[in-house]
Structure 1
């Protein structure tokens, strides 16, 4: 990616490497100093009268503690994190090292990004933890219903969206926020965007499999793999439907939100669908203003959906504007142009 930021793991490794080099230099300096002060053993074993003479001043120094080795540069003795960060940032600018370290940085950064998505909605099934375990309550679609937290599953009486506290709701809410991040990750360099997208998706499937085993009693790996494949197909369809909405307008995007998040329910409130659509547009604008370094450091968060209520509750000025005959002609011409192009 275009960022030259370095993760904490890489910075820690560079700091340890610097300390090892300083220790090796100190040991080599100490060994060279001892070799200079080592007395001549042949003279100690000699039988001549000179061997019984008083030791020379240089020989007396061998019983004293040698002075500590002098460091060549004070800055190398205690390298600061800022210096190591600058060194790593310079090394990251090279294409070879950046390609080698990108998967590690992407893995750690996307873990923080997924945590930001998981904060929006979470749930547990307390009946499973009872002794003895009790079956979880079911909804009309025979899905396990738990106890959740977050605006998306908070009842409408308490100011929330009021979605069912189920595994499917949890997955769709996280999918929605992962899609918002994916749109921004597509702006990364082509050779790195796929790595970030894949790592973000892997974190979701790790969490999804953990939910299945802990709260839904899916101890068989084959059963979990079956549901994970279904989630993969849902994710692929969600990408296509939300991308179509971004291109063709809010009406198409609202339809995709209604199908995925509200399960195409006829009882869904159109105001809630409009609120989620406005929320997605606003978050995409916020993410577009963020720099790549913020994604590398994991400093990405989402705005509270309550802040969009005032925006979604306003009527558009075009709702109360009457169309003139000229406006209708322009609209008819705009609708006729795509048809003529397809016929050609």
Structure 2
């Protein structure tokens, strides 16, 4: 979803002022309201007998075939209120991730496909293999292997504080539960598909940006009347990643 929001913001920047900034602000507001709703539905499922407001019984974003809603349509046992501190902290993490992704993709948009592919690798492929690829022939079969990428900023990690090389290796060996980590030596062959995946996503980004650029401003902004918000949605609808990609043609 972050990628598609960024694609839209790139097109909305080209709208004449103040429409561009107004549309971008509205898009980001709805995006993060949806994110918060999903976080709360995981941490604080509600039921008919709970004290939560009635509107919380329905997700902010209605279920679709494309995106799933956490706990949507499931019978869950209502719990107490989600800790606001936890929700706030998670929202701050998502904010940093969103703006970091946007900056990386903006740089790729200006500097070229190689930079864009790097942004795709870091943000969508988990930066797997950033510290090198360990092959099965070089691995010690008696030792378990686990390594994940740790976000460093000026020598600091997510939790803050500087780290030595030994501390960094220890942090990389900890499973943070995200499911994103380097492949085990026996699975090193999976890296072979990474260049194609990066090229596929870069081609998709370029293709969608070109398509959106060809849509007139008045179509993007819509009629501007209450009840006509969904006008021209068929023209703004995103294409499939695999469509029109020569790398995937039979």
TM-score, normalising length: structure 1 = 0.39
Mapped partners of 2:20, 2:35: distance in 1: 23
Q: Kindly indicate whether residue 59 of structure 2 is the aligned counterpart of residue 196 of structure 1.
A: no
Equivalent of 2:91 in 224, 228, 239:
228
Larger Rg belongs to = 1
Instruction: Looking at secondary structure, tell me which structure has more helix per residue.
Output: 1
Q: Secondary structure of 1:308's partner?
A: coil
Q: Which residue of 1 aligns with 2:225?
A: none
Q: Which residue of 2 aligns with 1:290?
A: 215
Which aligned runs of 4 or more in structure 1 are off by greater than 4 angstroms? none
The answer as to whether partners of 1:244 and 1:252 remain within 8 angstroms in 2 is yes
Q: Kindly indicate whether residue 43 of structure 2 is the aligned counterpart of residue 208 of structure 1.
A: no
Residue deviations 1:200-252 (CA, integer Å, cap 9, x gap) = 01111111111111124481222111111111111221121111101111010
Query: Which segments of 5 or more consecutive residues in structure 1 lack a partner in the other structure?
Result: 1-173, 315-344
Give the RMSD, CA atoms, in angstroms: 1.8
Matches within 5 A, 1:124-139: none
Aligned residues: 140
Mapped partners of 1:312, 1:195: distance in 2: 38
Q: Which residue of 2 aligns with 1:19?
A: none
Q: Secondary structure of 2:244's partner?
A: helix
- Cα deviation for residue 294 of structure 1 reads 2.4
The answer as to whether partners of 1:278 and 1:312 remain within 8 angstroms in 2 is no
Q: Kindly indicate whether residue 243 of structure 2 is the aligned counterpart of residue 243 of structure 1.
A: no
Equivalent of 2:240 in 301, 304, 318:
304
The answer as to whether partners of 2:200 and 2:242 remain within 8 angstroms in 1 is no
Q: Which residue of 2 aligns with 1:148?
A: none
Q: Which residue of 2 aligns with 1:258?
A: 121
Query: Which segments of 5 or more consecutive residues in structure 2 lack a partner in the other structure?
Result: 45-80, 130-189, 223-229
Structure having greater relative contact order (Cα 8 Å, sep ≥ 6)? 1
Residue deviations 1:146-194 (CA, integer Å, cap 9, x gap) = xxxxxxxxxxxxxxxxxxxxxxxxxxxx110111111100111132211
The answer as to whether partners of 1:187 and 1:193 remain within 8 angstroms in 2 is yes
The answer as to whether partners of 1:244 and 1:253 remain within 8 angstroms in 2 is yes
Matches within 5 A, 1:1-344: 174-217=1-44, 219-266=82-129, 268=191, 269-297=194-222, 298=230, 299=233, 300-309=236-245, 311-313=246-248
The answer as to whether partners of 1:275 and 1:312 remain within 8 angstroms in 2 is yes
TM-score, normalising length: structure 2 = 0.52
The answer as to whether partners of 2:105 and 2:116 remain within 8 angstroms in 1 is yes
The answer as to whether partners of 1:257 and 1:276 remain within 8 angstroms in 2 is yes
- Cα deviation for residue 313 of structure 1 reads 4.5
Mapped partners of 2:113, 2:218: distance in 1: 30
Residue deviations 1:19-67 (CA, integer Å, cap 9, x gap) = xxxxxxxxxxxxxxxxxxxxxxxxxxxxxxxxxxxxxxxxxxxxxxxxx
Mapped partners of 1:306, 1:209: distance in 2: 30
